[in-house]
Amino acid sequence: MLVAGAGPTGLALACGLVMQGVSVRVVDTAAGPATTSRANFLHARGSEVLARLGALGSLPEESVRAMRVTTYLGDRPIMRLRFGDPGLRTAAPPMVISQARVEAALRDRLSEFGGAPEWGAPLVDAQADGAGVTAVLGDGRSVHARWLVGCDGTGSTVRRLAGIGFPGVKVSERFLLADLHLDWDLDRGGTSGWIHPAGLLGAMPMPDPDGRGDLWRLLAYDPGGTGEKPSEEEILDRFAAIIPERTGDTSVRIRDAVWLSLFTVHRRLAEAYRRGRILIAGDAAHAHAPFGGQGMLTGLGDAENLAWKLGLVVRGVAGEPLLDTYEAERRPLATEVLRGTTAVTRMNITRNAAGRFLRDQVAVRLFGLPWIQRRATYTASQLWVSYRKGPLGGAGRKPRPGDRIGDLDCVRTDGTRTRLHTALRGRWALLDPAADADGLAAAARARLGEHVVPLRPGTEGPGDALLVRPDGHLAWRGRDAAALGRWLDGVLRDGRAPR
């Protein structure tokens, strides 16, 4: 298996594949790991993916728990949003953590399996044939693999070589970005945003590896600045002017800069996620605004969804149609996420009177309502994601096949206690109140092999057995081993749940 790109998506995919017993080679154009970070926020579902991959490590302790977003008009707070509702039964918390640290944690996990990305190794060409893909690296070496996955970001070479279109539109003019050590008496318990006629300014506290506790991520809309790309010095000068102009606070002092950059928001979605033996995931498949912290989160979810399916196909347990369920489950989700991030961007940058009225008067009031706040947290967290309407989904009582199963107390066959998501770790869980090892567990193991963990729910009670997929979604529920066998046979052969 060849993975192009050692960003969060490629690394998560590599870890997931190795956990499925698949050998993986990861190549990346860059000379080495990134030291600066685009993403700074990981919502709960992303943390859960890391936990299920065994890659969470010490990230929760290192992270900043800055779950509030306060919006100001001048110096007047007009809206407060609070993320991280404790009632969501997650296996891991949402985190303010740098993308560089997330990638490092994934690399550490990969190295536990003896793997490591190959740096300075761009994929420059790829030819697919019936038996696999022959890729060419920058130094002329050719690599043959049965499958190639492009996790190579928005400018994906793999996507282009596979002939997959990436239609979309530009959503905004440029934003300036700066990670700065600041002398600023601003609340580090959350993100602050200022609405200003010249454009939005956002300030988010960042975990500070050197312990100074004064590192901030600033984002400023700069719609006038459409000319030549400014130098780092010019970006810094712009921030020195923008901070007092948009916050009204003239006491802020810039100590030093860690990273200065700029970006423009585009909304793009790949026409397909697979062409034969070539697949794409993460930003290679969907590009959107950073607002709402959805990009890395969605890429990690793609990787987890694809890993177990590719694992089954590579091991010869499932046929290729199972791989089509990857696009069928993940592309509609990306469409939804793109809609949300585009709406948030448009709201942030609106300059016309009607848009400003909607944002500053209507949205502000709505977001003050507790139930809207809960809804916003839930939406941003992606804990709502369900594949119920996809080819592996189903109807009936909740939870339905395709729904995410929250973390639960469980009992192993040896009587020791565990949590559902801890038990998954690349495997399927059969959560059977009757603990009938000869019936349901045997039917699952006959098809999926040793990748099934039999468990009993920690709290007693009658009910269906649940077969939970490695990505934490419900595969099947019922009591009849023959029906479970038919379901698995259909899914593994046809990539469709028998109706």
Ligand X SMILES: Cc1cc2nc3c(=O)[nH]c(=O)nc-3n(C[C@H](O)[C@H](O)[C@H](O)COP(=O)(O)OP(=O)(O)OC[C@H]3O[C@@H](n4cnc5c(N)ncnc54)[C@H](O)[C@@H]3O)c2cc1C
Instruction: By CB under 6 A, name the binding residues for ligand X.
Output: 4-10, 27-30, 38-41, 99, 122-123, 151-153, 157, 177, 263, 282-283, 290, 293-297, 299
> Rg of the Cα trace of the chain?
23
Q: Which is nearer to ligand X, 294 or 377 (CB)?
A: 294
- Put the strands of the sheet holding 452-457 in their side by side order: 417-419, 409-412, 452-457, 428-431, 465-468, 474-478
Q: Which is nearer to ligand X, 123 or 254 (CB)?
A: 123
Residue 105 has, within 13 A of its CA and on its CB side, a CA count of: 24
Q: Which is nearer to ligand X, 40 or 247 (CB)?
A: 40
What are phi and psi for residue 457, nearest 5 degrees?
-60, 145
Q: Which is nearer to ligand X, 5 or 205 (CB)?
A: 5
- Measured distance CA(39)–CA(28) in Å, rounded: 19
3-state secondary structure of 231: coil
CB of 155 to ligand X, least distance (A): 7
Q: What kind and span of H or E run contains 78? A: strand 76-82
Q: Which is nearer to ligand X, 147 or 428 (CB)?
A: 147
| 64 CB-contact burial (10 Å; exposed 0-12 / middle 13-18 / buried 19+) | buried
Q: Are 67 and 85 in contact (CB under 8 A)?
A: no
Q: Which is nearer to ligand X, 25 or 146 (CB)?
A: 25
Residue whose token pair is 């916003």: 376
322: left (phi over 0), alpha (psi -120 to 50) or beta: alpha
* Cα torsion angle, 455, 461, 464, 469, sign: negative
Q: What kind and span of H or E run contains 345? A: helix 321-349
CB of 304 to ligand X, least distance (A): 13
CB of 217 to ligand X, least distance (A): 8
Pairing of strands 278-280, 148-150: parallel
CB of 295 to ligand X, least distance (A): 2
CB of 10 to ligand X, least distance (A): 5
Q: Which is nearer to ligand X, 295 or 470 (CB)?
A: 295
CB of 299 to ligand X, least distance (A): 4
CB of 24 to ligand X, least distance (A): 14
Q: Which is nearer to ligand X, 298 or 386 (CB)?
A: 298
Two tokens at 409? 């107390």
Q: How many CB atoms lie within 10 A of CB 155?
A: 11
- The closest of 404, 442, 440 to 421, measured between CA atoms, is 404
- Measured distance CA(423)–CA(433) in Å, rounded: 16
3-state secondary structure of 447: helix
- Measured distance CA(70)–CA(67) in Å, rounded: 10
CB of 27 to ligand X, least distance (A): 5
Q: Which is nearer to ligand X, 27 or 452 (CB)?
A: 27
Q: Which is nearer to ligand X, 123 or 468 (CB)?
A: 123
CB of 498 to ligand X, least distance (A): 34
Q: Which is nearer to ligand X, 266 or 356 (CB)?
A: 266
Give yes or no for a cis peptide into 399 (omega within 30° of 0).
Answer: yes
- Measured distance CA(331)–CA(305) in Å, rounded: 12
Two tokens at 138? 């920058």
CB of 367 to ligand X, least distance (A): 19
CB of 408 to ligand X, least distance (A): 26
CB of 154 to ligand X, least distance (A): 7
Q: Are 207 and 97 in contact (CB under 8 A)?
A: yes
- Measured distance CA(107)–CA(59) in Å, rounded: 13
Q: Do you know the residue count of the chain?
A: 499
Q: Which is nearer to ligand X, 16 or 299 (CB)?
A: 299
Q: Which is nearer to ligand X, 28 or 48 (CB)?
A: 28
* DSSP conformation class of 470: T
- Measured distance CA(432)–CA(410) in Å, rounded: 10
CB of 287 to ligand X, least distance (A): 8
- Measured distance CA(374)–CA(367) in Å, rounded: 10
